[in-house]
Chain A
Amino acid sequence: MTAATRAETGASTGAPERRRGDGRTYAAYHRPWWFRTFISAEFLIIALLVVVWIIATTSVDNFSGPLTVRYLLMDIAPLMMIALPMTLVIITGQIDLSVASTMGLSTVVVGILHVQVGLSIPVAGLLAILVGVLCGVFNGFLVAYVKLPSLAVTIGTLALYRGIAVGLLGTTALTDFDQEWSDLATSSIGESRIPAIMIPVVILIVIFAVLLHFTPFGRGLYDIGHNDQAARFSGVNVARSQMTTFILTGAVSAAAGIFYTLRFGNSRGDNATGLELEVIAAVLLGGVLIFGGRGAIHGVLAGALLIGVLSSALRLEGVTVNVINIIIGLLLVISVLAPTLVAGVQRLTSRRGGSGPGPERSSPASAPPEPSDPATQQEPTQHDSAPNQSTHQESARADSASKPTVTP
């Protein structure tokens, strides 16, 4: 009974128009608009990106020149593409480690179908995407319906998909691709130096941004990430949503694999090994919470661009790839530690305990200490005398205030 009512209140306080689907805490909406906009993980990473870009432009010769930007965009196109569905997966609190293996499998499928079987690139590509969808279905089925932990499942499929890719081709590399299509993959838009691959990438970005931020499906993903049990009670089809995110990841990874194959004109079983780590780094760098329930597409794009800009600038400065990897690793560690650090600083500076951001904030465990605070202690009595006023109160408080009415 109590559990049901709590779930009900949880569902009603999580009203879509208050949440806007970006998973911010309720308290954030009682801060001024400029605070909300500029003091967010996404904005901080965008600001960092701008700063890094300016430093790179001033210190590296011709960094913002058309040729550098062209290679920068081509290099991070697969990373950006896969980061989009990966954002969805991580927002639901899951993870997909098998994306790079799916990519490798896709390049092998395209290679075999095009070079050895003789199909045209569009047909081979479509079949490769189908294989990617199947990979996603397998992951999604095991996670959403068999209820296995996604970490374990995708470590297994990481080895499995890569193993199939390597098994099919061995150490041979297929390089005999249709020149026409290889040229298309590396071509530019019209007279500009912007690579043509940016057209599908931008379309994908728009699709995923709309999907995540402006549809019930997207809002459901945040709900699942917050609390999948509560999401189920509020009418989200948890299993189907999770399945969909894994299928999207598989399909987009396969599409990225096709671009990779055509751009470098080769099909090898160990193509794109280790890319899953860069994708996850970009997503987490972009402010997506690894526990799920928080994150936005624009932050992830900034995260991916930041990795691209950093590695491109450092490479042009003569820094080796190894040092760049160290820097990406450090960035990743710092970015995941940031919420804890911020919470620690806030706890030290603020007089009221437990007001830091993070997943603990919304949990009922933080409610008991609150009555010691004189401001919140008044609330239940106010609530009893004039229940109608509670609608004006902060919804998070209303949640905790509704408890005394249940217990007596």
Chain B
Amino acid sequence: MSAETLTPVARRQGATMRAARSLFASRETAIVLVILVIIAVATTMNQSFLFSAQGWRDLLLTPSILMVVAIGSAVVIITRNVDLSVGSTLAITAYMSGRLFIDLPGIPIFVVVLLGILVGAGLGLINGALVAFGKVPALVVTLGTMYIYRGAVLTWAGSDRINASDMPREFLGLGTMQIASIPLLTIVAVMVLIIAGYWLSSTRSGREMYAIGSDPEAAKLYGLPTTKRVIFAFILGGALAGLAGVMYAARYGTVSASAGLGWEFQAIGAAVIGGVAIFGGSGSVWGAAFGAILLMTINRVLPIVGIPDFWQRAVVGALIIGAIVLDRYLSVRRHRKLQEARDKA
């Protein structure tokens, strides 16, 4: 969308007009509008969807965990890679947090959170190192580690299940705690979003992620530390999946080894719907976060509108395909406009 401001027409407009244009033309705005429409429709059909304590809480709480995972996935995708192992990473840290409370009674909660993030980061480091030094597509490497990590947690947990009674009440309290009627987990997710959003859009290392994603060869020739940045993207993706695992344990109370099954596809879907191009170099974590909110909200709205929630996955799939077709259409149109502008000049 930023390319549109380059056209002569846009250049003549005032700064405020330009800001307004880019705001309304952006994918993020479009997604937010869609979310608002969906919430409005659901609320008219069932008042308690929005105007009840439970409905309001669920509206904010349900997407928060996927949001955190999707932010990490978006950063990885922006560098023209993909991480299929985030669902398995989430399962490992979710089960680990439960296990820590059982095996080490009285362990401080912040240590568990920290360990979750660290273990996630470590698993991400393995992915990143394999991708960056092995010079193989991230798709295959993370497909392999997805098997390995999932196998590891299944071996560790077996058919064992962590129950709410195994975890301290304060930890579970974090999952339900609210500050000024906003759930704590949502606040955590929004904080992660703000930090990641600021980092990607306004710092040197964040901007380099886009450079690497849009043309890895050029980025390398230019002298950007591509290897380091790609590894960092995977570490960040893993760490956020690890954090999401701890949040998952706190929110749901019960954790089995199959936690987060298929979340990698949900997270990639959220990023793609939110305007992160699958071949890297464009998009924002804001879009990915709104994509996650959209997916999870649709999930809850379908039964209210009268569609059995079995159809949720089909809707998600259709949304992903719609999003990438839209991206293709917009990029073809933008390309044509730029070409016209060049021919005129």
Contacts and interface: CB of A to CB of B under 8 A. Distances in A.
A156 B328 contact: no
Interface stretch (A76-84, A216-224, A254-262, A332-340): A332-340
Nearest to A319: B155
A162 B278 CA distance: 21
Given A333-B141, A336-B134, A277 B146 contact: yes
B15 to A, nearest CB: 35
Nearest to B156: A322
A247 to B, nearest CB: 18
A332 B324 contact: no
A152 B265 CA distance: 10
Contacts of B144: 281, 329-330, 332-333, 336
Contacts of A323: 151, 155
Contacts of B198: none
Q: Label chain B's interface by main secondary structure.
A: helix
Contacts of A157: 317, 321
Interface stretch (B22-30, B181-189, B304-312): B304-312
B320 interface: yes
A167 B310 contact: yes
Interface in A229-284: 269, 277, 280-281, 284
A170 B310 contact: yes
Contact of B140 (A158, A324, A332): A332
A367 interface: no
Contacts of B278: 149, 151-152
A160 interface: yes
B278 to A, nearest CB: 4
> For A142, A152, A160, which residue has the most chain B Cβ atoms within 10 angstroms?
A152
Interface residues on B, range: 35 or more
B154 A325 contact: yes
B308 A153 contact: no
Given A161-B317, A163-B313, A329-B147, A153 B140 contact: no
Contact of A148 (B140, B269, B310, B324): B324
A332 B310 contact: no
A269 B147 CA distance: 22
B97 to A, nearest CB: 20
B145 A148 contact: no
A256 B134 CA distance: 34
21 contacts: A95-B139, A142-B325, A153-B324, A155-B269, A155-B272, A156-B269, A159-B313, A163-B316, A167-B310, A167-B311, A167-B314, A269-B310, A290-B137, A290-B140, A320-B154, A323-B151, A323-B155, A325-B150, A325-B154, A326-B151, A329-B145
